[in-house]
């Protein structure tokens, strides 16, 4: 486990404090939770990830996302709109290797193998909800979600566009498999914490400050399919 040092010289510290005081008068910190169930972010995935699959997506002006080829086109998987005091940024969650990952439903009632429904909107069938004896379609973009990879060795690469510097303060490992978290600092060095236990909201603020990217995978001590939720970030 690598520890990031914040020790400064007295001169540097005083200079940084003065700069921070001036900057803080001009802009305030803005916090966001990358929740994996932001309505617009889910809506702009192919089929609103109605079968949990988050696949490469793009906008062609037809009012919904369509399939995309990341080898030749600009695509996204899950991209949540965030902002600071003056600009907007999409916070991207991309798979490193596989072409898809899973935005699972928090409501286990969706996983009834006998309830699939096609609303005839051109995007095929999805998990429905059984109401009485009827399998009904839902607004898939409005359903609470979490994120899991397709394979045990998959990595999630998460970052805002435009190389926007940020801090990550928390990550919820809501599954049983430990995770490892790697961050790319603005000094262009990588730092990591490994084997963070499951069923825990982890305070990662002492690791993930002043970063460009945060990547997550299963911990080195125990392979498995991880389940992640609620990455909290701050733009300063």
And the tokens for 212? 């460009």
The pLDDT score that the predictor gives to residue 14 is 34
Average pLDDT score, the chain: 90
- For residue range 62-88, list pLDDT tens digits in order: 999 999 999 999 999 999 999 999 999
Structural contact between residues 150 and 199, judged by C-beta atoms closer than 8 angstroms: no
Q: Which residues pair with 233 in a beta bridge?
A: 32, 168
Distances (CA, A) of 145 to 118, 142, 163: 20, 9, 27
- Report the alpha-carbon distance of residue 187 to residue 211 in Å, rounded: 8
Q: Where are the alpha helices (DSSP H) in the chain?
A: 10-26, 39-43
And the tokens for 117? 């429904």
Distances (CA, A) of 129 to 52, 72, 140: 14, 37, 11
The pLDDT score that the predictor gives to residue 164 is 97
- Report the alpha-carbon distance of residue 215 to residue 201 in Å, rounded: 16
- Report the alpha-carbon distance of residue 47 to residue 194 in Å, rounded: 35
- Report the alpha-carbon distance of residue 235 to residue 83 in Å, rounded: 8
- For residue range 90-146, list pLDDT tens digits in order: 999 999 987 999 999 999 999 999 999 999 999 999 999 999 999 999 999 999 999
- Which has more confidence, 30 or 17? 30
pLDDT range class, residue 21, cuts 50, 70, 90: very low
User: Which helix (H) or strand (E) is 193 found in, with range?
Assistant: strand 190-196
Average pLDDT over every residue of 31-45: 98
The pLDDT score that the predictor gives to residue 1 is 52
Structural contact between residues 87 and 46, judged by C-beta atoms closer than 8 angstroms: no
The residue with tokens 């990358």 is 34
Burial class of residue 179 in the structure, from the number of CB atoms within 10 Å of its CB (0-12 exposed, 13-18 middle, 19+ buried): buried
- Which has more confidence, 121 or 23? 121
Structural contact between residues 146 and 38, judged by C-beta atoms closer than 8 angstroms: no
Structural contact between residues 129 and 198, judged by C-beta atoms closer than 8 angstroms: no
Structural contact between residues 96 and 154, judged by C-beta atoms closer than 8 angstroms: yes
C-alpha torsion angle, residues 163, 178, 100, 106 (rounded to 10): -100
pLDDT range class, residue 191, cuts 50, 70, 90: very high
- Report the alpha-carbon distance of residue 201 to residue 51 in Å, rounded: 27
């Amino acid at each position: 486990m690598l520890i990031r040092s914040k020790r400064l010289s007295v001169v540097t510290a005083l200079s940084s404090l003065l700069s921070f005081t001036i900057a803080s008068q001009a802009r305030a910190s803005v916090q966001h939770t990358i929740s994996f169930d932001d309505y617009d972010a889910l809506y702009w995935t192919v089929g609103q990830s109605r079968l949990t699959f988050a696949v490469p997506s793009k906008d062609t002006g037809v009012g919904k996302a369509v399939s995309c080829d990341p080898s030749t086109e600009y695509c996204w998987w899950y991209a949540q709109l965030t902002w600071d005091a003056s600009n907007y940024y999409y916070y991207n969650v991309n798979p490193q290797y596989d072409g898809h990952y899973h935005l699972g439903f928090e409501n286990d009632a969706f996983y009834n193998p006998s309830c699939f429904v096609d609303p005839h909107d051109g995007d095929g069938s999805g998990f429905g909800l059984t109401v009485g004896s009827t399998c009904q379609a839902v607004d898939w973009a409005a359903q609470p979600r979490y994120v899991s990879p397709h394979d045990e060795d998959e990595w999630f690469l998460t970052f805002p566009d435009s190389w926007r510097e940020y801090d990550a303060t928390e990550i919820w490992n809501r599954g049983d498999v430990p995770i490892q978290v790697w961050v790319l600092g603005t000094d262009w060095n990588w730092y990591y914490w490994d084997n963070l236990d499951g069923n825990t909201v982890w305070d990662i603020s002492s690791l993930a400050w002043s970063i460009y990217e945060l990547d997550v995978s299963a911990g080195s001590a125990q392979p498995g399919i991880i389940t992640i939720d609620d990455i909290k970030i701050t733009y300063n």
